[in-house]
Chain A
Amino acid sequence: EADIYQTPRYLVIGTGKKITLECSQTMGHDKMYWYQQDPGMELHLIHYSYGVNSTEKGDLSSESTVSRIRTEHFPLTLESARPSHTSQYLCASERGGGAFYTQYFGPGTRLTVL
């Protein structure tokens, strides 16, 4: 079934650790996005990608990095986690092309940095 997956769903980690949040989609979409969302709050775009080998920074300054080596995979990495990184991270994908298509969201990863 075509879907967008995020792992882990929950992560509690200590300050200074390196972490990678995984996002994969089987929808065949070109565009992928990472958002940061505090519960019940606004969404902040932190990274996006138009396709393989394409990555762009979003509106929110972030200490994270992303890569897009395969169309279906868009992992987000924090080299050194800090308590300020505690948040929910949402991955989304969208069909490419010139028109404006729906973004499909994953279930999210809730990150807590102690």
Chain B
Amino acid sequence: AQRVTQPEKLLSVFKGAPVELKCNYSYSGSPELFWYVQYSRQRLQLLLRHISRESIKGFTADLNKGETSFHLKKPFAQEEDSAMYYCALSGYNTDKLIFGTGTRLQVFP
């Protein structure tokens, strides 16, 4: 079954601490993985996708096919990173984007 799992509903850290939001997936084939973010009172928007191999707002994510993971990382969290983060998957075996349940990141001053 195609599935995206985000095991943490809430992740709380202090400003300056490292952050890792976990994402594991189940998919037969080569997936395309995404991280979407929703800041308070803003639209859901793309943060990054693995094929771009870029760092956005200091966040990076590496696709680990062996562990079927696509964890989102940032070495030093900022208060403005507080938001809801969704991991998502697409691929040739699915005709739609499959979202995880989301992780709320709270960064305290």
Residues of A within 8 A of B (CB): 33, 40-43, 45, 48, 56, 58, 90, 92, 100, 102-108
Choice from A41, A102, A103, A108 contacting B102 with Cβ under 8 Å: A41
Total number of A-B contacts with CB less than 8 angstroms? 39
Q: With A90-B44, A106-B43 as known contacts, state yes or no: A100 contacts B32, CB within 8 Å.
A: yes
Q: What 20 new A-B contacts, CB under 8 Å, besides A43-B99, A100-B90, A106-B43? A: A33-B96, A40-B84, A41-B101, A41-B102, A42-B86, A42-B99, A42-B100, A42-B101, A43-B86, A58-B96, A90-B44, A92-B44, A102-B34, A102-B49, A103-B46, A103-B97, A104-B45, A105-B45, A107-B43, A108-B43
Query: What is the CA–CA distance of A58 and B43 in the complex, to the nearest angstrom?
Result: 21
- Shortest 10 CB-CB contacts between residues of A and residues of B: A100-B32, A42-B101, A105-B44, A100-B90, A102-B46, A43-B99, A105-B43, A107-B43, A42-B102, A103-B97
A56 neighbours in B (Cβ, 8 Å): 95
Query: What is the CA–CA distance of A37 and B45 in the complex, to the nearest angstrom?
Result: 14
Query: What is the CA–CA distance of A58 and B45 in the complex, to the nearest angstrom?
Result: 20
User: A30 CB to closest chain B CB, in angstroms?
Assistant: 13
Q: Using C-beta atoms within 8 Å of the partner chain, give the interface range for chain B.
A: 20 to 34
Q: Which of B68-82 touch A at CB < 8 Å?
A: none
- What 0/1 readout, one digit per residue, does chain B (93-108) give for beta carbons within 8 Å of chain A? 0011101111010000
